[in-house]
C-alpha cells in the first residue's frame, strides 16, 4: 500500500496518541499498586452502620494485599482506619453495597477509578515550510520561461501574419484580446484543478501583458481610440486582474490563498510598470491610478511584499509625474494626496504582522524604534508618505493651489492623532506606530508651510501669519495632552525651527540693515503674531524641562532670534509712521539697541533671582543670553548702529554685566548662609 504524505502524517499522529495513552495507563496502574503496597491490609468485612447480624468469624490468616478495607470499633460506632475516625456519610449508610465494589471506600466509583486516564489530545505543531526542492526551482524557471516564450511567440506569429497579409489590423487586435482571454481562462481552470503557483502566475501575468500591449497598440500605433478612452480601458483591465488576485487571496484554503497572493503580486508588478510608462505621456494618464486601486484592493490581504511594493512604486511614480509633466497636473496631485493618506490609514488600521521578538522591552516613548519592531510598516506608513507629500506639494505649487498642499500633510498628522487616541493603551505596537505617525505628521506640516512659502516667488506673507497662529494653537494643545499621550519634543523643535525659516524674509531685512521692507503693514502683523507665538512657547516652557542642555539652548536661541525680528520690525514701523524715512532709520537703530539691552536685562533677572540661584537651568540660560548679547554688541551693533542708540546699548549692557558679576556671588553666599542657619535651627539640641 503506497500512502501519500498527508496520510502518512495522519497515521503518525494517530500512533503517537495511542502510545501516549498506553504510557498513561501503565503509569496509573503502577501508582495504584504502590499505594496498595504501602497500606496495611485489614481483615474484616464491610457492614452497614446499623445493627446487623454479623457473619461467622473469619480465619486470622495473613490476608493478601488488596483494596483499602475499613474496620469497625463497635456495632454502632464509626468506622476507623488506623485509629482515625472516618464517619460514613449519612446518605451512604443505608445504601446497598454492590458486591463488585466490596473492599472499596464508599463514594468511590470503582469503574471510574480503574478506567485508564487518557491524556488530552494535543494538536500537532505546524510543520515548517520546507525549502524549495530542485524540482520546484526548475518548474518555477520553466513557468517564467514559458510565459516569456509565449509572449515572444505571439509577437513573432503576428509579425509573420502581417508580413504575409494573413491578418489585417482588426484581426490582429481581436486575436490578441482573445489570446489574453484564453490565458486568463486557462489560469482559472488550472487554479480549480490544482497546479503549481509559478504556472498560475505565469498565465495571469502573460494575459495581463497581452491585454496592455494590445491596448497600447490601439492607442499609439493604430490611433483607433482617443488617448483618454484607451488609457481608461487600460486602467479597467488592470483593476480586473487585481480583483482576480484579490478574490483568490480570500479563499479559505491555505494553498489557494497563497496562490492568490502570488497572483496579486504579479498583477501589482504589471500594473505598476504600466503606470510608470503611461506617466510619461501627456494625455494618457488614467493608468496611473492603477497603483491606487492596487492599494485599496489590498485591504485585509496585505503582506510585507504587497504593501512594500505598492509604496515603492507610488514613490517612483510621483517622482516621475513631478519631473515629466509640463501640462495638466491635477491627476498627479490627486493621486499623491490619496496614496499618502491611504498608506498611513492602512498602516494604522490594517497593520502588517510584527516580526520583532523584543518589542515588549521597548518603551512607548521610544516611538522611533518602530523601525526595529516593525520595519516594513514603519517605512511604508511614515517615510513613503513624507516623500510622496513633498512631491505632491511641488505639484500643487506648480498648479497654483498652494493651500491644497496642506491637506495631505495635515491629514497624515490627524490620522496619527486619531489612531493614538483610539488605540488600546495595552497595544504597545499600535500605540508606538500611532505616536510616530503623529510626530511625523506634525513635523511634515511645519515643513510643508516652509515649502509653500518659498516655493513660489514673491513670497506670500499670509502663509507666515497662518503658520504663527497655528503654531501657537498647536503648542497650547500639546501642553494639555496627558502624560501617556505626550509626543516628545520633536514637534516643538520642528515648529520652532520652521518659525525661524518662515520669518526669514523679515530676518534678512533686520540683519542686512534694510528697514524699508519693515514698514509694510503685513510686516507689522507678522511681528505682532511672532510675539503671540513667543508668549505661547514661554507659557508651555515646562515641556522642555528635563531634556538635554543642547536642546534647551537651541530653543532659547530660536526664541532670541524671533524676539529680535519682532522688536526691530515694530520699532521700525512705528518710527516710519511718526517721522517718515528719518523716523524709520531711528526706529531701526532703537530696535536693535533695545534687543541687546533686553537680552542683558533678562540674563541679569535669571541669574540674580533668589528663587533661581540653585537652578542650573536658570544659570545656563542667563549665561547664554549674556553671551548672545555680547556677541551681538561686538559683531553687529558696533558696525550697524551709530550715534546715541549704539552708545546707550553698550552702556546699559555693560552695567547689566557688572551688576551680575557684583551681586551674583553675594546673593549666592547669602543663600548658603541662610540655608545653614535654617539647618542648625531645625536640629534638636540633644543631638549636639
| Sequence-separated (6 or more) residues with CB below 8 Å from residue 101 | 110
Average pLDDT, the chain: 77
CA 425 vs CA 14, 221, 536: distances in Å: 44, 59, 30
Q: At residue 111, does pLDDT exceed 80?
A: no
Indicate the helix (H) or strand (E) that contains 649: helix 643-682
The better pLDDT of the pair 416, 640 is held by: 416
pLDDT at 196: 77
pLDDT in tens, 463-472: 999 999 999 9
Question: Is the backbone of residue 462 left (phi > 0), alpha (psi -120 to 50) or beta?
Answer: alpha
Q: At residue 148, does pLDDT exceed 50?
A: yes
Per the DSSP assignment, residues forming a β-bridge with 72 are 79
pLDDT at 271: 95
Using alpha carbons, select from 324, 220, 208 the residue that is nearest to residue 267: 208
- Among the listed ranges 253-257, 330-334, 389-393, 643-647, which one has the minimum average pLDDT value? 643-647
Q: At residue 444, does pLDDT exceed 90?
A: yes
The better pLDDT of the pair 527, 482 is held by: 527
The better pLDDT of the pair 595, 501 is held by: 501
- Among the listed ranges 13-17, 153-157, 356-360, which one has the minimum average pLDDT value? 356-360
| CB contact at 8 A, 320 and 394 | no
Using alpha carbons, select from 309, 315, 300, 226 the residue that is nearest to residue 271: 309
**pTM flag (> 0.85):** no
Where residue 1 falls among pLDDT bands split at 50, 70, 90?
low
Mean pLDDT of 538-551: 73
CA distance linking residue 274 with residue 198, whole number of Å: 22
What's 105's DSSP letter? P
pLDDT at 614: 58
pLDDT in tens, 265-310: 999 999 999 999 998 787 888 999 999 999 999 998 988 899 999 9
Q: Where are the domains of the chain?
A: 35-44+65-91, 477-671
Distance of CA 149 to the CA centre of its chain: 43
Most confident of 213-222, 335-344, 510-519, 588-597: 335-344
Where residue 535 falls among pLDDT bands split at 50, 70, 90?
very high
| CB contact at 8 A, 166 and 224 | no
CA distance linking residue 271 with residue 450, whole number of Å: 35
| Sequence-separated (6 or more) residues with CB below 8 Å from residue 589 | 641, 642, 643, 645, 646
Give percent of the chain above pLDDT 70: 69
Q: At residue 637, does pLDDT exceed 80?
A: no
ω into 620 cis (within 30 of 0): no
Where residue 609 falls among pLDDT bands split at 50, 70, 90?
low
Cell numbers for 221, please give them. Answer: 500605433
**Alpha carbons within 13 A on the beta-carbon side of 666:** 5
CA distance linking residue 318 with residue 311, whole number of Å: 11
pLDDT in tens, 211-224: 999 999 888 888 88
- Among the listed ranges 160-174, 501-515, 643-657, which one has the minimum average pLDDT value? 160-174
Q: What is the CA radius of gyration of the chain?
A: 42
Where residue 56 falls among pLDDT bands split at 50, 70, 90?
very low
| Phi, psi angle pair for 81, to nearest 5° | -130, 105
How far apart, in Å, do the first and last CA atoms of the chain sit?
A: 101
In 10 A of CB 458, how many CB atoms?
Answer: 6
pLDDT at 92: 44
Q: At residue 130, does pLDDT exceed 70?
A: no
Measured CA angle at 606 (ends 604, 607), to 5 deg: 65
- Among the listed ranges 16-20, 94-98, 266-270, which one has the minimum average pLDDT value? 94-98
Using alpha carbons, select from 468, 476, 532 the residue that is nearest to residue 500: 468
Question: Is the backbone of residue 643 left (phi > 0), alpha (psi -120 to 50) or beta?
Answer: left
Helix, strand, or coil here: 280? coil
pLDDT in tens, 386-409: 999 999 999 999 888 889 999 999
Where residue 59 falls among pLDDT bands split at 50, 70, 90?
very low
The better pLDDT of the pair 685, 467 is held by: 467
| CB contact at 8 A, 190 and 200 | yes
Helix, strand, or coil here: 284? coil
| CB contact at 8 A, 259 and 248 | yes
Where residue 678 falls among pLDDT bands split at 50, 70, 90?
low
DSSP states of 60-103? -PPPPS-S---EESSSSSPEEETTEEEPPPHHHHTPPPPGGGTT
The better pLDDT of the pair 638, 383 is held by: 383
| Sequence-separated (6 or more) residues with CB below 8 Å from residue 179 | 154, 207, 210
pLDDT in tens, 32-52: 777 777 664 544 444 444 444
pLDDT at 314: 95
Q: How many residues does the chain have?
A: 688
Using alpha carbons, select from 554, 424, 525, 537 the residue that is nearest to residue 484: 424
β-pairing, 71-72 vs 79-81, is antiparallel
In 10 A of CB 633, how many CB atoms?
Answer: 22
pLDDT at 546: 64
- Among the listed ranges 495-499, 557-561, 566-570, 678-682, which one has the minimum average pLDDT value? 678-682
Give percent of the chain above pLDDT 90: 29
Q: At residue 624, does pLDDT exceed 50?
A: yes
pLDDT at 53: 46
CA distance linking residue 567 with residue 412, whole number of Å: 35
The better pLDDT of the pair 129, 531 is held by: 531
pLDDT in tens, 475-494: 999 888 887 777 888 898 89
- Among the listed ranges 146-155, 195-204, 349-358, 527-536, which one has the minimum average pLDDT value? 349-358
In 10 A of CB 538, how many CB atoms?
Answer: 10
| Sequence-separated (6 or more) residues with CB below 8 Å from residue 196 | 136, 139, 140, 143
pLDDT in tens, 237-262: 999 999 999 999 998 888 888 889 99
Where residue 57 falls among pLDDT bands split at 50, 70, 90?
very low
pLDDT at 83: 43
Q: At residue 95, does pLDDT exceed 70?
A: no
Amino acid at each position: 500500500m503506497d500512502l501519500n504524505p498527508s496520510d502518512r502524517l495522519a497515521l503518525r499522529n494517530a500512533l503517537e496518541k495511542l502510545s501516549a495513552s498506553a504510557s498513561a495507563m501503565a503509569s496509573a496502574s503502577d501508582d495504584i499498586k504502590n499505594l496498595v503496597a504501602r497500606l496495611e491490609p485489614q481483615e474484616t468485612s464491610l457492614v452497614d452502620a446499623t445493627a446487623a447480624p454479623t457473619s461467622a468469624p473469619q480465619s486470622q490468616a495473613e490476608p493478601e494485599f488488596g483494596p483499602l478495607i475499613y474496620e469497625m470499633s463497635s456495632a454502632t460506632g464509626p468506622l476507623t482506619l488506623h485509629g482515625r475516625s472516618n464517619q460514613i456519610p449519612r446518605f451512604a449508610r443505608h445504601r446497598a453495597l454492590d458486591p463488585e465494589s466490596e473492599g472499596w471506600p464508599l463514594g468511590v466509583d470503582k469503574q471510574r477509578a480503574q478506567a485508564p486516564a487518557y491524556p488530552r489530545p494535543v494538536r500537532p505543531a505546524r510543520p515548517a515550510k520546507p525549502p524549495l526542492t530542485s524540482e520546484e526551482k526548475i518548474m518555477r524557471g520553466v513557468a517564467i520561461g514559458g510565459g516569456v516564450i509565449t509572449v515572444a511567440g505571439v509577437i513573432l506569429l503576428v509579425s509573420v501574419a502581417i508580413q504575409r497579409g494573413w491578418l489585417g489590423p482588426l484581426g490582429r487586435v481581436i486575436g490578441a484580446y482573445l489570446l489574453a482571454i484564453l490565458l486568463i481562462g486557462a489560469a482559472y481552470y488550472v487554479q480549480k484543478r490544482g497546479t503549481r503557483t509559478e504556472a498560475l502566475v505565469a498565465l495571469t501575468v502573460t494575459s495581463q501583458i497581452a491585454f496592455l500591449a494590445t491596448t497600447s497598440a490601439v492607442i499609439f500605433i493604430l490611433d483607433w481610440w482617443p488617448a483618454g478612452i484607451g488609457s481608461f480601458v487600460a486602467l479597467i483591465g488592470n483593476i480586473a486582474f487585481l480583483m482576480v488576485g484579490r478574490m483568490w487571496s480570500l479563499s479559505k484554503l491555505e494553498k489557494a490563498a497563497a496562490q492568490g497572493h502570488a497572483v496579486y503580486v504579479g498583477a501589482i508588478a504589471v500594473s505598476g510598470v504600466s503606470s510608470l510608462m503611461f506617466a510619461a505621456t501627456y494625455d494618457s494618464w488614467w493608468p496611473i491610478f492603477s497603483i491606487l486601486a492596487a492599494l485599496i484592493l489590498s485591504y485585509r490581504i496585505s503582506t510585507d511584499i504587497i504593501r512594500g511594493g505598492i509604496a515603492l512604486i507610488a514613490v517612483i511614480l510621483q517622482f516621475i509625474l513631478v519631473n515629466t509633466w509640463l501640462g495638466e497636473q491635477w491627476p498627479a496631485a490627486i493621486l499623491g494626496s490619496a496614496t499618502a493618506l491611504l498608506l498611513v490609514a492602512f498602516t494604522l488600521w490594517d497593520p502588517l504582522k510584527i516580526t520583532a521578538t523584543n518589542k515588549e522591552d521597548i518603551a512607548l516613548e521610544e516611538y522611533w524604534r518602530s523601525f526595529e519592531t516593525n520595519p516594513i510598516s514603519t517605512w511604508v506608513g511614515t517615510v513613503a508618505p513624507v516623500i510622496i507629500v513633498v512631491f505632491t506639494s511641488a505639484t500643487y505649487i506648480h498648479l497654483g493651489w498652494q493651500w491644497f498642499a496642506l491637506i495631505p500633510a495635515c491629514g497624515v498628522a490627524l490620522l496619527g492623532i486619531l489612531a493614538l487616541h483610539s488605540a488600546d493603551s495595552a497595544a504597545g505596537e499600535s500605540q508606538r506606530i500611532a505616536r510616530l505617525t503623529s510626530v511625523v505628521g506634525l513635523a511634515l506640516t511645519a515643513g510643508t508651510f516652509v515649502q509653500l512659502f518659498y516655493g513660489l516667488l514673491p513670497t506670500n506673507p499670509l502663509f507666515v501669519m497662518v503658520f504663527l497662529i497655528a503654531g501657537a494653537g498647536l503648542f497650547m494643545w500639546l501642553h494639555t495632552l496627558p502624560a501617556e499621550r505626550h509626543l516628545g519634543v520633536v514637534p516643538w523643535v520642528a515648529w520652532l525651527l520652521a518659525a525661524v525659516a518662515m520669518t526669514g524674509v523679515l530676518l534678512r531685512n533686520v540683519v542686512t540693515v534694510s528697514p524699508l521692507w519693515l514698514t509694510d503693514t503685513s510686516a507689522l502683523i507678522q511681528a505682532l503674531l511672532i510675539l503671540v507665538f513667543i508668549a505661547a512657547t514661554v507659557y508651555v516652557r515646562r515641556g522642555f524641562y528635563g531634556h538635554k542642555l543642547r536642546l534647551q539652548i537651541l530653543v532659547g536661541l530660536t526664541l532670541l532670534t524671533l524676539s529680535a525680528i519682532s522688536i526691530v520690525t515694530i520699532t521700525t514701523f512705528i518710527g516710519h509712521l511718526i517721522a517718515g524715512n528719518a523716523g524709520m532709520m531711528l526706529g531701526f537703530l532703537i530696535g536693535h539697541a533695545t534687543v541687546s539691552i533686553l537680552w542683558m536685562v533678562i540674563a541679569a533677572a535669571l541669574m540674580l533671582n533668589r528663587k533661581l540661584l540653585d537652578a542650573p537651568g536658570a544659570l545656563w540660560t542667563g549665561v547664554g543670553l549674556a553671551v548672545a548679547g555680547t556677541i551681538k554688541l561686538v559683531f553687529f551693533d558696533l558696525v550697524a548702529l551709530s550715534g546715541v542708540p549704539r552708545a546707550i546699548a553698550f552702556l546699559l549692557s555693560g552695567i547689566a554685566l557688572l551688576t551680575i558679576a557684583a551681586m551674583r556671588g553675594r546673593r549666592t553666599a547669602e543663600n548658603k548662609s541662610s540655608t545653614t542657619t535654617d539647618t542648625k535651627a531645625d536640629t534638636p539640641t540633644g543631638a549636639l
